[in-house]
Amino acid sequence: MTQSSSISNTRWHTFESQDGINLAAATRILAAAQEAINQHGSFLVVLAGGSTPKSVYKLLSQQQADWANWHVYHNDDRCLPIDHLERNSKMARDVWLNHVAIPQTQIHDIPTELGNVEGAKAYAKTLNGLRAFDLVILGLGEDGHTASLFPNQIVDNSADVVPVFDAPKPPADRVTMSQNRLNNAHEVLFLVTGAGKQDAIDNWRKGVKIPATLIAPANGVDVYCFGVKLN
């Protein structure tokens, strides 16, 4: 079932099962890829971290796609060693990227093992000169954060990639794309599951300026929800 809201061009979609949201998200991602490859010869996709997208990534690992033309980025990552289980890049590789034929040179982890400041500088160089992303996938925190854009934290939006200090969600040190760089995208898809996100969704729909509302690309955003009500 899909509801659409004209406010801030946010389109809300609710699903009745985890399998339902996973299938819809994977279908949407694969369609975005084909459209981008048809148009540009490549697909620039930015992955969400956290636990929500894991089952969608697992489903994608079992699909056929023109993987050779996929270029994978991350909207944020935690400052942890490269193979730490809590690294967003490690999760994506373990459940998906290591199981499909995307060239390793086209999988762009954020080098957060360098620390947040040096990691941000290095990743900014990786993104330098890239066209608009074809698809940005984002999660939503219980406090309304997205990527590593947290409430009451000022982000230097003149930069594409910024270091994060004192993040309320451990670890404190992170690297995140700025809202401006995340907004430079053809499509943005939020994946939100679980009753723990209900307050954030309620606030979002009431017009509370949670960090997720900073993500407002020209074509609007789609929010795929399971286990939360659209009150």
Q: Which is nearer to ligand 6PG, 49 or 119 (CB)?
A: 49
CB closer to ligand 6PG out of 49 and 163 = 49
Q: Which residues in the 155-174 window bind ligand 6PG by CB under 6 A?
A: 169
Least Cβ distance, residue 148 to ligand 6PG (angstroms): 6
- Residue of 140, 210, 217 lying closest to 181 (CA atoms): 217
Q: Which of 119, 127, 117, 125 is nearest to 165 (CA)?
A: 117
According to CB under 6 A, which residues from 112 to 151 bind ligand 6PG?
139-141, 145-148
Counting contacts by CB under 6 A, is residue 79 touching ligand 6PG? Answer: no
CA distances, 58 to each of 14, 35, 53, 92 (Å): 21, 22, 9, 9
CB nearer ligand 6PG, residue 65 or residue 138? 138
Which residue, 39 or 165, has its beta carbon nearer to ligand 6PG?
Answer: 165
223 dihedral zone (left: phi>0; alpha: psi -120 to 50; beta): beta
* Interface with ligand 6PG: number of residues (CB under 6 A): 16
Binding site for ligand 6PG (CB under 6 A): 48-52, 76, 78, 88, 139-141, 145-148, 169
